[in-house]
Amino acid sequence: METLAQFVNATWLSSLIGLIAILISYTLYRASRRGGEPAVAQDGDRLLGGELPSNVEILFSGRHVPRLTRSRVVFWNRGSKTIPGEDIVQKDHPRMVVGEDAEILSARVVKTTRQVIGFRVGTTEKKNSVSIAFDYLDPGR
Amino acid sequence: MIDVLHTDESLTVRVEGSIRSIPRGIREYPFDGGWMRRWQFYAISIGGMLPPLLTVTLLSSSKPSPDRPFWLSPGPLFVGALATTALLDRFKVLPFPRELQK
C-alpha cells in the first residue's frame, strides 16, 4: 500500500496526467470541428465469366455480356455534420464508374439507414457510370 | 448500400465526384475495417487493461495488508479488466453504420 501511495504522489505522474489531458482535449476539439465527410467502402464478387470455355455464352436480360461482376458499395457520412443534397456539385456529380470498355448493367439501393434521406442512384450519359444522389446525409449515417 | 452489376474485370468500382464545402472529396475505407482499425481496437483494449494490471503488480510487490479492500485483490481486478475488454469489443469502431452491415 505504501508503494502505491508513493506512486500516486510522484510529481512526474501529475505531469503525465496533465499532458494526457491536454492531448485528449486537443483530440476532442479536432473531432468536434469535423464537418461532413463522405466516405465509401466496397467489395465485389465475380459472378460469371473469366475462365469459362469460349462456347459458353452469358446473357443478361437476353443480351450477351462478356462477364458478370457484382460490387457492393456503401456510401455514408463519416463526419459530424449533415451533408445537404444541395451541396452536390452538378458539374461533377458523385458517381460510380467502371472501366472505359465495361458497362454497368444494373445498380440498385438495397439498404439505407433511413428512407427519408432519399438516397438514390440514377443513369448518366455514359454506360460505364451511374450517379449517386441524396436529399441529405445525417452524420454517421 | 448499393448493389452494382457490371461487366468490368475489376471487382470494385471507382467513386468520383464533388460535394461543396468538402474539398477533401470522397474518401475510401476498407470494407472489413482493415488492420488499422483492428490494431486500434487492440491498442485501446490493452490500454484499458493496463491500469488494473499495474495496480495488481504494485500491490503484489507491497506487503499484504489486512485493511486492503476486496476489490483491490487480483481476482476482482482481473475480472474488471476482462469486463473492460468485452465492453470495448461491444462498442468497437465499425467502418460504416451498423444498419448497413450485411
Summarised one tens digit per residue, pLDDT across range A14-23 is: 788 888 888 8
Question: What are the domain boundaries of chain A?
Answer: 2-32, 38-137
Helix, strand, coil fractions of chain A, as percent rounded to 5: 30, 35, 35
C-alpha cell of B64?
499484504
Task: Pick left, alpha or beta for residue B82 (phi over 0 → left; psi -120 to 50 → alpha; otherwise beta).
Answer: alpha
Phi, psi of B32 (to 5 degrees): -95, 10
Distance (Å, rounded) from C-alpha A29 to C-alpha A11? 27
ipTM of the complex: 0.76
- The reported pLDDT for the residue numbered B30 is 77
**The residue type at A26:** Y
Residue A139: per-residue pLDDT: 86
pTM of the model: 0.65
Which of B11, B2, B7 is CA-nearest to residue A94? B2
Cβ <8 Å between B95 and A46: no
* Closest CB to A105 among B7, B16, B20: B7
Nearest to A129 by CA among A103, A109, A92, A91: A103
Q: Which of A7, A64, A69, A101 to mutate to test the interface with B (most CBs of B within 10 A)?
A: A69
Measured in angstroms, the CA of B91 and the nearest CA of chain A are apart by 14
- 3-class state of residue A123 by DSSP: strand
pLDDT computed for residue B94 by the predictor: 58
Other CB atoms within a 10 A radius of the CB of residue B26 amount to 18
Are residues B11 and A99, on separate chains, in Cβ contact within 8 Å?
no
Residue B14, class by beta-carbon neighbours within 10 Å (0-12 exposed, 13-18 middle, 19+ buried)?
middle
Name which of A90-99, B53-62, B72-81 the model is least confident about: B53-62
- Euclidean distance between CA atoms B47 and A24, whole angstroms: 14
| Residue carrying C-alpha cell 505531469 | A15
Is A110 in contact with B3 (CB distance < 8 Å)?
yes
Length of chain B: 102
Among the residue ranges A6-10, A62-66, A133-137, B75-79, the one predicted with the least confidence is A6-10
Residues of A in contact with B9 (CB under 8 A): 67, 69, 99, 102
* Long-range contacts (CB closer than 8 Å, 24 or more residues apart) made by A3-8: A3/B58, A3/B61, A3/B62, A4/B55, A4/B58, A4/B59, A4/B62, A7/B58
Lowest mean pLDDT among A18-32, A55-69, A105-119, B63-77: B63-77
- Residue B66 has what pLDDT? 65
Q: Where are the domains of chain B?
A: 34-100
A82/A90 Cα distance (integer angstroms): 19
Give the per-residue pLDDT at B63.
Answer: 57
Q: Does A23 touch chain B (CB under 8 A)?
A: no
pLDDT of A120 above 90: yes
